[in-house]
Copies of this chain bind each other. A is one copy, B any other.
Amino acid sequence: MSLIVHKYGGTSMGSTERIRNVAKRVAKWARAGHQMVVVPSAMSGETNRLLGLAKELAPERPDTAYYRELDMLAATGEQASSALLAIALQAEGLEAVSYAGWQVPIRTDSAYTKARIDSIDDARVRADLAAGKVVIVTGFQGVDEAGNITTLGRGGSDTSAVAVAAALKADECLIYTDVDGVYTTDPRIVPEARRLHSISFEEMLEMASLGSKVLQIRSVEFAGKYKVPLRVLSSFTPWDIPIEEEARSGTLITFEEDEDMEQAVVSGIAFNRDEAKISVLGVPDKPGIAAQILGAVADANIEVDMIIQNVGKEGRTDFSFTVHRNDYARTMDLLKEKVAPALGAQEVVGDAKICKVSIVGIGMRSHVGVASTMFRSLSEEGINIQMISTSEIKTSVVIDEKYMELAVRALHRAFGLDAE
């Protein structure tokens, strides 16, 4: 007998028919003798509907009292779907009970709309599991020390599920979603993309942070911190496939680099086109330049991703970085009007039509020449590299947006990821 946590996304909970399917699937696992905890998201569209009503009433504004009410509002979507799933499980003949975040309780800080989990009390859930019940823990939400409802941010139900699995020391946390696992890259771009049977936690973290949208990045961080075995799999397989088959499907996120792992040098290709690049040219090359530029950007609450500073010559250097495309115009204004004049920089140039393409793989640690293979295959396609950034297990390049698909396909092939 194992203790298993299932998490179902909004699409999987999108209608009463789908909720009934979820209930049948959970019932299959419970009948196989497993202790079951289920974390459902709100029915798809519900969170947007609720927040849409709020927007009709008042423009969004950075105000704690306002964010508190947004959380009161948004938290109702998950509470409703949890109760509905409990009812569906009862209709399957199981004993089932649902708990809102505050009932568990799942304790968080008070950062409304993006709260972080501090602790989870497992007593109530354990008592129910011991009594043979399926326990539904409402995702996406918690309660702060003063008893206010908080939410964990978009995709927060992934984090709820992993945190609950960690608190209960679950044997495995299964994230059911509308894709059937983690792929070497997006199959919509590269039809030859393969599903990975397993991926290391560190690779998954890079994939998530680089734009692969299978899992919320904080849930991966959480899984890493507490060593929660995590599996991403599809909720659209028939609910009655054999449990052994289901338990091996999808992609397992592992924490041990054991012998059995796929030994590819590069595990996947990630990409995103949400960024824009900005360069401050001809900056006097002296200590404190980076701090002055990025300090001003941070003060304006703009997040920076890649940062590049090249060696200078003739007493001047160029400084480049990327920001989210939504912040591009604002950042350019800030630099041109305030930062560059103060620094005595020669020019500020930028480009919003870029994309970032990354290769990710634990094998890069022990294999030389991986980056150069990447650069060569891009060059063979005639793609100019604008920026390069590396870490231990990934290499990212910024290129012209129009070459994105071409680059991803070329790299997928170059690193032997195409399905045979």
Binding site for B on A (CB under 8 A): 16, 19-20, 23, 50, 53-54, 56-58, 63, 65-66, 68-70, 72-73, 75-77, 79-80, 82-84, 86-88, 90-91, 95-98, 100, 102-103, 147-149
CA distance A86 to B68 in the complex (A): 10
Give the residue of B72, B84, B95, B103 whose beta carbon is less than 8 angstroms from that of A83: B72
A179 to chain B, nearest CB (A): 26
Give the residue of B57, B63, B91, B149 whose beta carbon is less than 8 angstroms from that of A19: B57
CA distance A316 to B77 in the complex (A): 62
A84–B73 contact, CB under 8 A?
yes
CB-based nearest B residue for A59 = B91
B69–A73 contact, CB under 8 A?
no
Give the residue of B16, B57, B77 whose beta carbon is less than 8 angstroms from that of A16: B57
B98–A84 contact, CB under 8 A?
no
Report chain B residues within 8 Å CB of A53.
Answer: 16, 80, 84
Evaluate whether A57 and B91 lie within 8 angstroms (CB atoms) in the complex, with A70-B83, A80-B50, A98-B69 already known.
yes
Give the residue of B75, B80, B149 whose beta carbon is less than 8 angstroms from that of A73: B80
A57–B97 contact, CB under 8 A?
no
Report chain B residues within 8 Å CB of A77.
Answer: 76
CA distance A97 to B146 in the complex (A): 13
5 tightest A-B CB contacts, nearest first? A58-B91, A73-B83, A72-B83, A76-B76, A16-B56
Report chain B residues within 8 Å CB of A87.
Answer: 54, 57-58, 66, 69-70, 73
